[in-house]
C-alpha cells in the first residue's frame, strides 16, 4: 500500500483552486451564453429553453447521475485498500451501464417528444429528438471524469468542463442565431445542437487524455482473474451507482415536475400563459444563472474532498481535521459571495439584461434576495451529502433527498397558484429542500463521525457577512456614479470589510508551518 498511502496535502488546495477556476470560467460562459440567448430568443424563448433543459437535466441524472461520484468514491477506496484490480471493472461497468441507459431514455424522448411538448404547452419536439445523442455523450463524460477524480486528479475534469462551455457558447449561439430565423422553437433547437457538439468535443479530450495517461490506464487492465471478485466489484458499483442515481434524480425530478406543471399553476396566479412563461424563465434562466455563481465554491470543495475523505475513511482515520477545515472554508467563501451578489443585484440585472422591463427587473431583484438563503443552505447540504457519500451512506442520501424533494414539489406547486406567491413559490421550495436536506444529513452525520464548528467562528462569519452586505447595499444605493463603477467599488468595499472582520478565522485557515 505504500505508493498509495503517501498523501500530498497541497493537492487539496491546488485541486480546489483548479475546480474553482474552471467553475468560474464555466459559470461566466454559461451566463454569457444566456445573455445573448435571451436577446436572440426573447424572455419567452429562454423560458422554453429552460423547460426543455429541466427535462434534459433530469434525464441526464437518471442516465449517469451517480456515475461520477460512485467512481470517485469506489476508486479512491480501492486505492486505499490496495484493491487495484477493481478499478478497471468499475470504469467499464460505469461506461457500459450509463451509455445503454442514456440510449434507451433518448429513444423514449425521440418517440414521445411531441406528447411531452403538448403537455408543457410549447413546441419543443425537435429539441427532444437530440436527447438520443446528448444522453450517451453525457454518460461518457461522467464516467471518465469520475475515473480521474478517483485518483484525485481534477485537471481533466476542469479542462473538459471549460472546453464543453466554450464550444457550447460558440456553437450554441451560432446555431440558435441561424435557426431562430425560422421561429423561436427552432432557435431553441439550434441552441441544443450546439450543446451536442460541445459534449462531443469534451468526450474526445477526456478519451485522448485517458489514452496518454499510461500510469492510470494500467489500473484499468490490472483486473483480478477471480471471477467471483469481478462479479462482486460489478455489484458493488451497481449498488452505489443506482442509489446515488436515485438520490441525484430527486432535485432534477422536482424541477422536471415544475417544468411540466408549473406554467399552468402560475397562470392561475398571473394574467396570462405568456407572463407565466416569462416569470419561469426569469427565475430559472436569468436569476438562477447569476445567483448560482457562489455554488462554484461548494462544488469545487466537495468534489476535491470526496476522494480524499473517502481515502481517509477507508484507511481508518485522520479525516476529522480535514472535515472541519473544509466546512469552515466552505462557509468562509460561500457567505460573502452570496451576500455580495444579493447586495449588487439591483445594479447587475439592468447591465446584464437591458431588455428586461422595469417590473421584471424589480421581480428579479426580489427573487435574488430571497434566493440567497437557498444558495447558502444548498452549499451546506452539498457538503454534508459529500460526507455521507464518503462514508458509503448511499441509502441515507436517497431517503433524505426524497423527503426534501417531496417538500419542495408540494410547496412549489401548491403556492405557485396563489397570487401572493406566484413565482416566489419556486424560491421557497428551494429553501425548504436545502434546509430539510441539511438538517437530516447533519443528524445522521453526528452518529457516524465526530466533527464540530466553533460557535465563535460561525458567529464571526455570519456577522461579518451581514455587515458586508449592509456596507455594499447602502453604498450602491447612495452613490451617484455609473452602475459599472459602483459595482466594482462595491465589490472592493465588501471584500475589504469582510476580510478585516474575519481576520481571526483567516488565521485558522492559513497553512500551519511544521517544525523541522
pLDDT at 502: 94
pLDDT at 423: 87
pLDDT at 220: 63
Q: What nine digits make up the cell of 308?
A: 480524499
pLDDT at 30: 77
Residues 205 and 61 sit within 8 Å (Cβ to Cβ): no
pLDDT at 441: 94
Residue stretches of the chain with pLDDT short of 70: 1-13, 214-226, 259, 316-318, 511-516
Q: Considering the chain, what percentage of its residues have pLDDT values greater than 70?
A: 93
**Mean residue pLDDT across the chain:** 85
CB count within 10 Å of CB 388 equals 20
Quick: pLDDT tens for 144-189. Answer: 999 998 888 888 999 999 999 999 999 988 998 888 888 888 888 9
* Residue partners of 450: CB distance under 8 A and separation at least 6: 320
Quick: pLDDT tens for 2-53. Answer: 333 344 444 666 777 788 888 888 878 877 787 788 778 877 777 788 888 8
| C-alpha of 311 from chain center | 23
Is the model's pTM score more than 0.85?
no
CB count within 10 Å of CB 283 equals 27
pLDDT at 300: 85
Q: Give the single-character DSSP code of 512.
A: P
Amino acid at each position: 500500500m505504500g505508493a498509495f498511502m503517501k498523501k500530498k496535502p497541497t493537492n487539496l488546495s491546488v485541486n480546489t483552486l483548479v475546480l474553482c477556476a474552471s467553475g468560474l470560467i464555466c459559470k461566466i460562459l454559461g451566463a454569457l451564453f444566456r445573455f445573448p440567448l435571451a436577446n436572440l430568443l426573447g424572455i419567452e424563448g429562454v423560458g422554453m429553453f429552460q423547460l426543455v433543459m429541466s427535462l434534459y437535466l433530469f434525464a441526464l441524472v437518471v442516465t449517469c447521475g451517480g456515475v461520477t461520484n460512485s467512481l470517485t468514491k469506489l476508486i479512491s477506496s480501492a486505492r486505499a485498500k490496495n484493491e487495484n484490480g477493481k478499478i478497471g471493472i468499475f470504469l467499464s461497468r460505469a461506461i457500459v451501464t450509463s451509455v445503454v441507459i442514456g440510449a434507451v431514455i433518448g429513444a423514449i424522448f425521440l418517440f414521445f417528444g411531441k406528447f411531452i411538448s403538448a403537455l408543457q404547452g410549447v413546441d419543443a419536439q425537435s429539441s427532444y429528438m437530440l436527447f438520443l445523442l446528448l444522453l450517451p455523450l453525457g454518460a461518457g463524460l461522467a464516467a471518465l471524469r469520475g475515473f480521474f477524480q478517483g485518483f484525485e486528479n481534477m485537471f481533466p475534469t476542469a479542462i473538459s468542463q471549460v472546453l464543453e462551455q466554450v464550444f457550447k457558447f460558440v456553437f450554441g449561439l451560432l446555431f440558435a442565431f441561424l435557426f431562430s430565423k425560422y421561429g423561436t422553437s427552432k432557435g431553441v433547437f439550434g441552441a441544443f445542437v450546439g450543446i451536442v457538439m460541445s459534449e462531443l468535443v469534451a468526450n474526445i479530450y477526456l478519451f485522448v487524455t485517458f489514452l496518454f495517461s499510461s500510469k492510470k490506464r494500467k489500473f484499468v487492465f490490472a483486473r483480478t482473474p477471480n471471477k467471483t471478485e469481478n462479479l462482486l466489484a460489478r455489484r458493488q458499483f451497481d449498488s452505489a451507482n443506482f442509489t446515488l442515481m436515485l438520490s441525484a434524480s430527486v432535485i432534477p425530478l422536482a424541477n422536471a415536475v415544475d417544468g411540466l406543471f408549473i406554467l399552468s399553476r402560475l397562470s392561475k396566479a398571473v394574467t396570462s400563459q405568456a407572463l407565466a412563461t416569462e416569470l419561469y424563465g426569469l427565475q430559472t434562466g436569468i436569476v438562477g444563472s447569476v445567483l448560482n455563481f457562489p455554488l462554484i465554491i461548494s462544488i469545487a470543495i466537495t468534489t476535491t474532498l470526496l476522494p480524499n475523505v473517502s481515502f481517509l475513511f477507508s484507511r481508518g482515520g485522520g479525516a476529522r481535521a480535514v472535515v472541519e477545515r473544509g466546512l469552515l472554508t466552505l462557509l468562509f467563501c460561500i457567505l460573502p459571495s452570496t451576500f455580495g451578489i444579493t447586495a449588487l443585484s439591483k445594479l447587475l440585472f439592468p447591465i446584464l439584461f437591458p431588455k428586461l422591463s422595469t417590473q421584471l427587473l424589480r421581480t428579479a431583484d426580489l427573487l435574488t434576495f430571497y434566493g440567497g438563503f437557498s444558495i447558502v443552505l444548498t452549499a451546506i447540504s452539498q457538503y454534508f451529502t459529500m460526507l455521507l457519500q464518503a462514508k458509503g451512506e448511499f441509502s441515507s442520501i436517497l431517503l433524505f433527498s426524497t423527503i426534501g424533494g417531496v417538500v419542495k414539489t408540494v410547496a412549489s406547486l401548491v403556492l405557485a397558484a396563489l397570487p401572493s406567491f406566484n413565482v416566489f413559490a419556486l424560491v421557497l421550495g428551494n429553501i425548504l429542500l436545502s434546509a430539510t436536506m441539511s438538517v437530516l444529513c447533519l443528524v445522521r452525520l453526528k452518529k457516524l463521525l465526530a466533527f464540530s464548528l466553533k460557535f465563535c467562528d460561525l458567529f464571526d462569519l455570519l456577522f461579518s457577512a451581514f455587515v458586508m452586505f449592509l456596507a455594499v447595499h447602502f453604498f450602491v444605493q447612495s452613490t451617484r456614479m455609473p452602475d459599472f463603477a459602483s459595482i466594482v467599488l462595491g465589490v472592493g468595499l465588501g471584500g475589504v470589510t469582510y476580510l478585516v472582520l474575519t481576520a481571526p478565522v483567516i488565521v485558522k485557515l492559513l497553512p500551519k508551518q511544521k517544525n523541522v
